[in-house]
Amino acid sequence: MKKRQKLDGLKLNKKFTLVISCLVILPISVMAAILFYNMEQNVIRENRNYMQYTMERNKDNISKNIASVTMTTQFFLKDTPLLEMLGKAARQEKTDTGELMEFYHSDVASLERLVNNNTLLYGVRVYAVNDSVQEMMPILYSRSRMERMEWAGEEDYEGWHFDYRDRLFDNRDGERIASFVTEIGDYENGRIGVLETAVTMENLLPPLYEDIRDEWSCFVSEEGNLYFGDNVQENSGEFVRLKMEEGFGKDGIYTAYTEQGGEHLIVSYLYIREMRGTLLSVKNITENVRYVYRMRNAFVAAMLVLAAGLALFVNFIVTRLLGKFYDILKSIRMIQKGDLGIRIQNCGNDEMGEMGTQINKMLDRIGQLMKENIDREVLAKNSQIRALQNQINAHFIYNVLESVKMMAEIDEEYAISDAVTSLGILLRYSMKWVSGNVTVGEEIEYVKNYLLLMNLRFDYEIYLSLNLPEEILKQEIPKMSLQPIVENAIYHGIEELAEDTNIYIKGMLKDGDCILEISDAGKGMDEDTLERLRKKMDGEIETDGGTGGGIGLKNVQDRIRMSFGEPYGIDIASKAGCYTKVTLRVPARQNRHGV
């Protein structure tokens, strides 16, 4: 009891001196162990996150490359003049010189421009089933030319082929390429040709050729073939085969930490379903981990030497500790009032300092969580926007294609070419994701093509009347802002009237804003319907996503406000049986090219 009373009677600095003198070695050892264990785990975690992010970026790039190859392949497979020429060659019918020249200068030249404009493509070759065809480079080739390619000797050569030399002209040092091979056929002649859409291995799988220190990549097909680029490391093949025995190739992205032969490695897998293979990337973090070990040993040695001197500074530390206590208390009160920007300065390494540090970390974490929450909401909204941009009205496409088909079968006029061209422009514009805004001029061109196709469906004509000065055409607006408004005007204002009419689009600059008015002389709407629509656009009433649900206009409203702020957006004025006018307001701003 006396000893306890005597201990309680000691001053605070002497208590700290006694405790530190007795326990300094153990706490230092534990703290060092925890600190450097966490540092080691942080190194591993940071590199895992880096490899995860890198693989996600590679996934996006490779997916875009595959999509470009697929779209080019589909475009060639639907080219009618090319199919007719291959059909004649399959039937060994002769084609006069005039037809050949016309085919070369129109269709072949057009296809060649398509290939040249796509910087990803190495080339697109169409091979006939025999040698009766007139070769037209660089698009059309004979059967014997195809037989020079390595994949031509395979029993089933359809699909992807990787890392082979271009031997089209007996060039044994040709480019290392990969290609997607597809048979071309029709109902009358069966197989009439083979289509090879080729890209260089470096363009298709860039990670294989990136020169990054301590990193290398490999592509493994489902058949077990290994494909390396320029960054291959020693014994890479053995390592990949070892991982194959362990089993990989899961769907999605899988990243793991492993130790192999005394080295610390981060291994990331990406299974690419379309190519039936797995991209494997490896990052060697051995030097980073060993650096942490060296820091740990040096830290422990230094702390042991300094442990004896710590007791001499206990009184000074206690004095500073009490001062920090009141500083922290003051900061906590300010935090309670809502000031999350406050930070405790000069925390130090003692308990009070640790408390201050933890409070700072807590505030940083709160700020981070708030930012992450906002980012998730923005990401969710962007996902909705992209889903809307990629959404295609199947009923609309069905009707348009039926109309085009009818024109082709009955009139055999060139109008079908215009229709198909407009449809292609419309689809490419709507399905291609563009980061940022577009110009009013680009949106107007999209609306023109949209109306051209819509007019194929109706017995009456919808005309587009424009009053847009040149400076308006260069203004920025979010992509797909005008088309939903025009679509609403047709389906909810014009279609029931079934008579020739106009849609008016007028633009003006006023008070530093760009104002676009889209008007129709349709059936309009009453005040109750108009007020309900405005509430849906403002989020006061939930949109149901059905016909007339207002989801299209609300989406445009949300995207404008996300891009430019609350003062901007759209407004609607309407009178039943007379008209509907939608006013779109955005800040006056030059397009992204500064034109």
CA distance 85 to 87: 5
Q: Please report which residue ranges of 391-481 form alpha helices under DSSP H.
A: 394-410, 415-431, 440-454, 470-473
Tokens for 551, please give them: 């989801």
pLDDT of residue 408: 59
The pLDDT of residue 252 is above 80? no
pLDDT one-digit tens code per residue, 63-105: 999 999 999 999 998 988 888 888 888 888 888 888 888 888 8
Helix axes 551-564, 527-537, angle to 10 degrees: 50
CA distance 400 to 440: 25
495, 515, 508: which is closest to 584 by C-alpha? 515
Instruction: State the average pLDDT over residues 373-387.
Output: 59
The pLDDT of residue 581 is above 80? yes
Confidence at 427, pLDDT banded by 50, 70, 90? low
Residue with the bigger pLDDT between 282 and 363: it is: 282
CA distance 412 to 457: 18
Q: What is the pTM of this model?
A: 0.47
The pLDDT of residue 127 is above 80? yes
Establish whether the linkage from the previous residue to 138 is cis, with ω within 30° of 0: yes
Confidence at 23, pLDDT banded by 50, 70, 90? low
Instruction: State the average pLDDT over residues 360-380.
Output: 70
Instruction: State the average pLDDT over residues 34-57.
Output: 87
445, 452, 450: which is closest to 415 by C-alpha? 452
Q: Which of 67-81, 331-345, 579-593 has the highest mean pLDDT?
A: 67-81
Pairing mode, if any, of strands 501-510 and 159-165? Answer: unpaired
Burial class (CB in 10 A: 0-12, 13-18, 19+), 188: exposed
Q: Please report which residue ranges of 225-350 form alpha helices under DSSP H.
A: 236-246, 286-310, 314-336
Confidence at 509, pLDDT banded by 50, 70, 90? very high
Task: Round the CA-based radius of gyration of the chain to a whole number and report it.
Answer: 34
The pLDDT of residue 135 is above 90? no
Confidence at 360, pLDDT banded by 50, 70, 90? confident
